[in-house]
């Protein structure tokens, strides 16, 4: 059970990073809403981590500078 859960969280993190690097979002909250809209039922769980929120926010800021 834990392995499947880990795989699911890894998949959502990968998707979140891809969205953040797209330059279309301004922060972790916007990415979380986008993932929920895409049907990722575990988005809230993935974003409980402060590390995850910070990493996503940093990628959003970096992408905004490039775009």
- Break the chain into its structural domains and give their ranges: 2-66
Question: Tens digits of per-residue pLDDT, 6-36?
Answer: 888 899 999 999 999 999 999 999 999 999 9
Question: Tens digits of per-residue pLDDT, 33-53?
Answer: 999 999 999 899 889 989 999
Contacts for 15 with CB less than 8 Å, ≥ 6 apart: 35, 38, 40
Q: How confident is the model at residue 66 (pLDDT cuts 50, 70, 90)?
A: confident
């Amino acid at each position: 059970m834990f392995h499947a859960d880990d795989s699911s969280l890894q998949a959502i993190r990968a998707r979140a990073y891809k969205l953040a690097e797209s330059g279309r979002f301004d922060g972790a909250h916007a990415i979380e809403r986008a993932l929920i809209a895409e049907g990722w039922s575990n988005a809230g769980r993935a974003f409980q981590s402060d590390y995850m929120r910070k990493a996503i926010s940093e990628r959003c800021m970096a992408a905004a500078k490039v775009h």
